[in-house]
Amino acid sequence: MGILIFSIIAEFLYNDIMILNNFIVFEGIDGSGTSTQLKLLKQNNPDFEITAEPTSTEIGKFLRRMLGGEFKVDEKTNAYLFAADRCQHLYGEGGIIELTKKGKIVVSDRYFFSSMAYQSATCGIELPALLNSPFPLPQILFYFVINPEISLSRVNSRNEKKEIYEKIELQRKIADMYEKVISSYEKDSENNHMKVVRIDATKSIEEIEHIINETIKNEIK
C-alpha cells in the first residue's frame, strides 16, 4: 500500500514541482496542537500572516458548515470543494501567492497534505492527488505526529461540537494516510527540496515552540 501511494503521488505531484518561498504549513490530525502553536507564532511574530484551510471565503464557509455536520456531501465532491477553496486561497486577491511576492511570511494551518490524508481515507488517493497536483509546495512543512487516541481525547476535552471526521476509527485511517503521504515526500526530498520537520506533538508546548522558532530562523532568510 505504501509503495502504491508513493507511486501515485510521484506521478501527480512531482512533475514541474515548485517551492513557494516564505510559505510555511502546519499539518496533523485533529487535536495535534497546530492551532496552539500558530497562536504563539503570531504573538511572537506579528508581521507573519496566519491563515487556515478551510478559508474564510464562501467556499470555505460552506466547507466548515459541512464539517460541522449541518449537511452531508459526497466525499468526491468534498475533494473538489477543498481543492477549489485552496486554489482561491493561493491565487485569489490577497491570497498566499500575492502575500509571499510582497515578502510576507505566510503560515497556514493545513494545506493540500490534509486533503491527501482526509479525503484519501474516504474516497481513495487518486482524485485528491490529481486535484492538488497544480499547487506549489511550502518551503517548510511542520508535521505534528501524535497517537489518534491522545489527540481525540484532547478534542473531547474541549466540550465543543465534534466535526464529522473526529471519530476514532476515521482518525486512525487519516493518521495512517498522513504518515504514508509525508513519508513519500521525505523519500523524495532531494527532488522536491521541501523542508519537512516532524514534531512529536506530545512534547510540551514550550519545546514545540522552540523547535518551530529555530527552524524558521534557520530556513527563512
Helix locations, the chain, DSSP H: 2-13, 34-44, 58-67, 75-91, 96-101, 112-123, 126-131, 148-157, 168-187, 189-192, 205-219
Domain that holds residue 23: 2-219
pLDDT at residue 11, as a whole number: 54
Q: Is there a contact between 51 and 89 (Cβ–Cβ < 8 Å)?
A: yes
At 9 the pLDDT is 54
Q: What is the pLDDT of residue 38?
A: 97
- Of 140, 144, 118, the C-alpha closest to 185 is 140
Place of cell 476509527: 169
Q: Are 144 and 30 in contact (CB under 8 A)?
A: no
How many domains, the chain?
A: 1
Distance CA 38, CA 61 (A): 20
Q: What is the mean pLDDT of each run of 10 residues along the chain (221 residues)?
A: 51 65 96 96 97 96 93 93 97 97 97 94 90 95 96 86 83 93 87 92 98 97 77
Backbone angles phi, psi at 138, to 5 degrees: -75, 160
What one-letter code names the amino acid at 108?
Answer: S
DSSP conformational letter for 194: -
At 7 the pLDDT is: 56
Single-letter residue type at 160: E
Position of cell 485552496?
86
CATH at residue 202: 3.40.50.300
pTM of the predicted protein model: 0.91
pLDDT at 21: 96
Q: What is the DSSP secondary-structure string of 48-77? A: SEEEESS-SSHHHHHHHHHHTTSS---HHH
Residue 3 CB partners (closer than 8 Å, separation 6+) = none
Amino acid (one-letter) located at 115? S
